[in-house]
């Protein structure tokens, strides 16, 4: 095996905040984007694609602030192939210590038909726009959108034009998840062999997961010569999602014997950022998801359990600690003190200031009074539970429900609305429906309930339920999440959280363009 000090570096380009956020319903707040960017920076991501600055004032401000606060990562913004987009992108990313402009245009026959450009006209546009970007920034990435369905001769032609115009990274997007591993590798290999100047730039791969092959396609491209992988946390993204960062990074780590490439990702931070992205996006991680799923390190089969007891390597190819999972699961109870709680939360990836610990400790004690045993997952849910920030219009004060086999089910609710206490009695088809009807009665709105999900945090009848709610109204989306040992209370809190975020976004967001990218 090649010595690791001599291995080629594979750059990790994370687009959770851009392509990941384009997943319907995954919109994040300004503060959440800054928080996720900070976590990506800390874990060693080489390039963070922070957003699409021309899309809205909010997106521009988020990219700009991420650029200002970045410490290690290159901060990248996306722009279409026109001067206005590129200028706006530069205005946002120029504040970074290491800025990058990423510009793209669709080059396949289907995409060339959209702007109604022939091959020569598009080639000229690519030359002019990449040159313009390079005059602003010395780090320019260019993407031929839908590259895997572009004629090979034309793809070689436009890649050569982009390199001559100053692109330092050429990204080859499988925009609709159409390719397969061998084809992905052949495409990169062909470009390296046929395009003049290909040996002077970095080739990147950007794969979508429509056929479930995004990770395999990305790794195949690396073996063929690509040295940058575009990916997202938890595989978040449009349709079936993008290449999952945790999958490609751990594949390169675990199978370094046959894929001798390095990344600079601190893999012990994977679980923490996975949980946080799941929370802020409202997209729960499926239980059998590779690397970060709840069952990724669970063994129920008798044969598997016996093998694990004798030698963990029998059925585990990586250690839970490699991705940031603690080795223990049952430690805390109602007699645990602040020091023990702080130490346990530190093990789970949470560093708290004294005032934060004080707030969490109160909620931990309340939970411990209701649960005999508090597991790691309970503490994670406690940390992820959305408490009401000071600018929330609505706060749940009290809730009492009556349910059973004979309806109607009822909910008696009191909310603090703009600081004033208001109460109502409502009915519904079940306790959750009655609860939501009570909220709507006190806070009239026309938002549509687009998602309602309930997950048990741990096992047992006293398990906490984590509820996720997504509301949509007038093009705005608000997501909320809350945990409680009472599922109906968790549902009420999540619904109220979603409404608060919807109202805040409607108030603060001022979209100036309906811009979406499919690269």
What is each CA distance from 14 to 9, 273, 325, 372, 496, in whole angstroms?
16, 12, 22, 41, 31
Q: Tell me the C-alpha distance between 400 and 440, whole Å.
A: 16
Cα–Cα distance for residue pair 446/471, rounded to 1 Å = 10
Share in percent of the chain as helix, strand, coil (round to 5) = 45, 20, 35
Cα–chain-centroid distance for residue 191? 31
Instruction: Report the b/e string of 222-237 with b at 16+ CB within 10 A.
Output: bebbbbbbbbbbbbbb
Residue 147 three-state SS: helix
- Mapping DSSP to helix (H, G, I), strand (E, B) and coil, where does residue 454 land? strand
Which pair of structure tokens corresponds to residue 493? 């809190």
- Binding-site residue numbers are 19, 206, 208, 242
Asked whether the beta carbons of 20 and 278 are under 8 A apart, the reply is no
Q: Is the peptide bond before 488 cis (omega within 30 degrees of 0)?
A: no
Q: Pairing relation of β-strands 374-375 and 8-9?
A: unpaired
- Annotated binding residues for Mn(2+), written as ranges, equal 19, 206, 208, 242
| CB-based contacts of 31, cutoff 8 Å, min separation 6 | none
Bridge partners, 250 (sequence order): none
CA distance 111 to 346: 49
With b for 16 or more beta-carbon neighbours within 10 A and e for fewer, the 128-145 pattern comes to ebbbbbbebbebbbbbbb
């Amino acid at each position: 095996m090649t010595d690791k000090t001599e291995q080629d570096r594979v750059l990790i380009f994370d687009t959770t905040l851009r392509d990941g956020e384009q997943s319907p319903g995954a919109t994040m707040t300004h503060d959440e984007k800054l928080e996720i960017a900070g976590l990506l920076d800390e874990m060693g991501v080489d390039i963070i694609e922070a957003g699409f600055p021309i899309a809205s004032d909010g997106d521009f401000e988020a990219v700009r602030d991420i650029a200002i606060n970045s410490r290690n990562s290159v901060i990248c913004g996306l722009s279409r192939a026109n001067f206005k987009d590129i200028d706006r992108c530069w205005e946002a990313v120029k504040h970074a210590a290491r800025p990058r402009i990423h510009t793209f245009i669709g080059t396949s026959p289907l995409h060339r038909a959209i702007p109604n450009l022939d091959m020569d006209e598009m080639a000229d546009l690519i030359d002019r726009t990449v040159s313009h970007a390079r005059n602003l920034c010395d780090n320019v990435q260019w993407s031929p959108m839908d590259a895997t369905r572009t004629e090979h001769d034309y793809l070689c032609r436009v890649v050569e034009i982009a390199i001559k115009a100053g692109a330092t990274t050429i990204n080859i997007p499988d925009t609709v998840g159409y390719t397969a591993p061998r084809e992905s590798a052949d495409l990169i290999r062909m470009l390296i062999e046929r395009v003049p100047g290909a040996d002077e730039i970095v080739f990147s791969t950007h794969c979508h997961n429509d056929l479930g092959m995004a990770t395999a396609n990305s790794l195949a491209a690396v073996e063929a010569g690509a040295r940058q992988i575009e990916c997202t946390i938890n595989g978040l993204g449009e349709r079936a999602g993008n290449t999952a960062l945790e999958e490609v990074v751990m594949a390169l780590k675990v199978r370094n014997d046959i894929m001798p490439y390095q990344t600079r990702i601190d893999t012990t931070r994977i679980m923490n950022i996975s949980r946080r992205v799941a929370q802020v996006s409202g997209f729960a991680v499926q239980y059998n998801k590779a690397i970060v799923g709840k069952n990724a390190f669970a063994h129920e089969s008798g044969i598997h359990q016996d093998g694990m007891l004798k030698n963990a390597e029998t059925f585990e190819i990586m250690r839970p600690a490699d991705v940031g999972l603690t080795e223990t699961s049952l430690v805390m109870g109602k007699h645990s003190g602040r020091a023990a709680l702080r130490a346990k939360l530190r093990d789970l990836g949470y560093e708290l200031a004294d005032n934060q610990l004080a707030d969490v400790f109160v909620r931990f004690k309340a939970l411990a009074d209701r649960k005999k045993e508090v597991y790691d997952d309970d503490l994670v849910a406690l940390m992820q539970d959305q408490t009401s920030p000071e600018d929330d219009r609505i706060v749940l004060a009290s809730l009492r429900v009556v349910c059973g086999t004979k309806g109607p089910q009822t909910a008696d609710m009191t909310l603090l609305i703009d600081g004033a206490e208001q109460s109502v009695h409502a009915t519904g088809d079940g306790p959750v429906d009655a609860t939501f009807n009570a909220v709507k009665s006190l806070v009239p709105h026309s938002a549509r309930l687009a998602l309602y999900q309930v997950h048990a945090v741990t096992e047992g009848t006293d398990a906490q339920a984590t509820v996720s709610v997504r509301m949509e109204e007038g093009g705005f989306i608000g997501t909320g999440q809350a945990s409680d040992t009472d599922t109906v209370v968790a549902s009420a809190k999540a619904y109220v959280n979603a409404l608060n975020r919807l109202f805040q976004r409607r108030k603060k967001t001022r979209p100036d363009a309906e811009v979406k990218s499919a690269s």
